[in-house]
Amino acid sequence: MSMNVPSVDQSDRRVPINLRQSGWTPVQMLVDTRIRKSPYWHLSAEAGCWRASVYNRMYHPRGYVRPEDGGAMVEYDSLVNHVTMWNVAVERQIQVKGPGAADFVNFVITRDATKIPPMRARYVILCNEAGGILNDPVLLRIAEDEYWFSLSDSDLMFWLQGVNVGRRFDVEINEIDVAPVQIQGPKSVDLMTDLFGPAIGELPSYGLLAGQVEGCDVIVSQTGFSGEKGYEIYLKDASIHAETMWRAVLAAGERHQLAVIAPAHHRRIAAGILSWGQDMDVETLPFQVNLGYQVPRTKEADYIGKAALEAARDAIEAGSPPYTHTLVGMRLGGRPVDDYAPDFWLISDSEDGDPVGYVTSPWYSPELEGNIAMGHVPLRCTEVGTRLWVHLPDDYADSPGVPVPAEVVEMPFRPSVNPNQRELLKARGLDAAV
């Protein structure tokens, strides 16, 4: 195991990213009762799940097709050509309900929660007082007085309950027995129409619909983590109805070549979709990861982190950003990266230079016929066309120990079927970064 790499400037962080290159360490993950199993856990096992990680203190299926059968790239083919179902119960649902719900949510997110109508959703971020990103959930407004935070990988419930100690806002904040699955891929609208009728075809991006699957109450959203056409089905009383709904979706999906797969990080990278804990964390400002559009200049109401974020934006516009690195997209050489990276692989700004940055999310893109990645690089290396070198493991390097060339490119790497707000702003010629 190699030493840590102190040459990468992380002076803007209290806890530096672990840049020790440990490789594919041979360990077996212990499954015990300290980590929660979702209501779909045994159903994922039935579907062939052979490996998992931990996400929001829950076991998270991360592979169904074994490497000897083609692995994650076979799952990718199902996603981009047919339709897939993902067990994403790890997106734990935190309900904020009560007369003060709108005011509370508006205080904890950077966007204006009052502009979200009932039965619509939005991608949002929550920040701490220093402006660091705590979570980037999908926020569902179920009713005038009820919101659900569909979490990324940090335990937000304790934070939200802590913010409301002393009952400053008249709300109840609790995790609820709701577990989502994602239905993603070009045939998703056909499958969902079979399940819910033609109203699905009219559901707008981030729209919500109340319905039933085999008598089980659900909320449907047109959202997803892939950049493909897709939906999420949020099952109520999931601990009771998980099997009924899961098997009903499988049965309806047979005629559409439905496959159960793991969340498709190879496709979300191509769409420029971020993963909390991988591309950003609590010490990352939104402006470092192309989320400046989440910090509106026009929101008058106070919110947690507002002062720090406005000060950071002022410093950026004055030419003195309060950070050393920012996230970019890269195309890079080497053999196809066909699985999850076990390390933050290192980036140099010259072929024989010391590392100055690190890769956060790499994968091979079949459409682009090459490796793509997101990574944090020094501010001087962010211009499109900048030449970089990436230190890949020997399994992927063209020559052992020799870094492969890379080039900074625009994100997303390929157009999304469901473009996010940043893509829409860019298409309108507006600056989404700041």
In this structure, is residue 231 part of a structural domain? yes
Given pLDDT bands bounded at 50, 70 and 90, which one contains residue 395? very high
Q: Which residues contact 379 (CB under 8 A, 6 or more apart)?
A: 321, 323, 324, 325, 326
In this structure, is residue 47 part of a structural domain? no
- The pLDDT tens digits for 189-240 are 999 999 999 999 999 999 999 999 999 999 999 999 999 999 999 999 999 9
Q: What percent of the chain has pLDDT over 70?
A: 95
> What is the pLDDT, as a whole number, of residue 28?
86
> What is the pLDDT, as a whole number, of residue 344?
97
The pLDDT of 351-368, averaged and rounded, is 96
> What is the pLDDT, as a whole number, of residue 419?
65
Based on the fold, state whether residues 314 and 213 are members of the same structural domain. Answer: no
Given pLDDT bands bounded at 50, 70 and 90, which one contains residue 27? confident
The pLDDT of 175-189, averaged and rounded, is 98
> What is the pLDDT, as a whole number, of residue 7?
84
Of the two residues 165 and 416, the one the predictor is more confident about is 165
Peptide bond into 412 cis (omega under 30): yes
- The pLDDT tens digits for 238-270 are 999 999 999 999 999 999 999 999 999 999 999
In this structure, is residue 350 part of a structural domain? yes
**Residue 334 CA: distances (Å) to CA of 71, 232, 386, 403:** 19, 35, 18, 9
**For the whole model, what pTM was predicted?**
0.95
CATH number, domain containing residue 200: 3.30.1360.120
Based on the fold, state whether residues 407 and 335 are members of the same structural domain. Answer: yes
Based on the fold, state whether residues 353 and 302 are members of the same structural domain. Answer: yes
DSSP class of 233: E
- Do 106 and 113 meet the contact criterion of CB atoms below 8 Å apart? yes
In this structure, is residue 155 part of a structural domain? no
Helix or strand (DSSP H, E) at 182: strand 178-184
Based on the fold, state whether residues 235 and 316 are members of the same structural domain. Answer: no
Given pLDDT bands bounded at 50, 70 and 90, which one contains residue 428? low
Based on the fold, state whether residues 308 and 369 are members of the same structural domain. Answer: yes
Based on the fold, state whether residues 235 and 301 are members of the same structural domain. Answer: no
In this structure, is residue 182 part of a structural domain? yes
What is the number of residues in the chain? 434
> What is the pLDDT, as a whole number, of residue 258?
98
In this structure, is residue 125 part of a structural domain? no
Indicate the range of 22-36, 218-232, 353-367, 399-413 predicted with least confidence: 22-36
Based on the fold, state whether residues 244 and 308 are members of the same structural domain. Answer: no
> What is the pLDDT, as a whole number, of residue 433?
57
Based on the fold, state whether residues 318 and 398 are members of the same structural domain. Answer: yes
Question: Mean pLDDT across the chain, nearest whole number?
Answer: 95
In this structure, is residue 234 part of a structural domain? yes
> What is the pLDDT, as a whole number, of residue 308?
98
- Do 194 and 175 meet the contact criterion of CB atoms below 8 Å apart? no
How many domains does the chain fold into?
A: 2
Q: Is residue 274 exposed (0-12), middle (13-18) or buried (19+ Cβ within 10 Å)?
A: buried
Q: Which residue range(s) make up the domain with 379?
A: 286-427
> What is the pLDDT, as a whole number, of residue 420?
62
Based on the fold, state whether residues 252 and 290 are members of the same structural domain. Answer: no
Based on the fold, state whether residues 402 and 332 are members of the same structural domain. Answer: yes
Based on the fold, state whether residues 228 and 356 are members of the same structural domain. Answer: no
Residue with tokens 């195309």: 331
> What is the pLDDT, as a whole number, of residue 2?
67
98 φ, ψ to 5°? 145, 175
Based on the fold, state whether residues 201 and 298 are members of the same structural domain. Answer: no
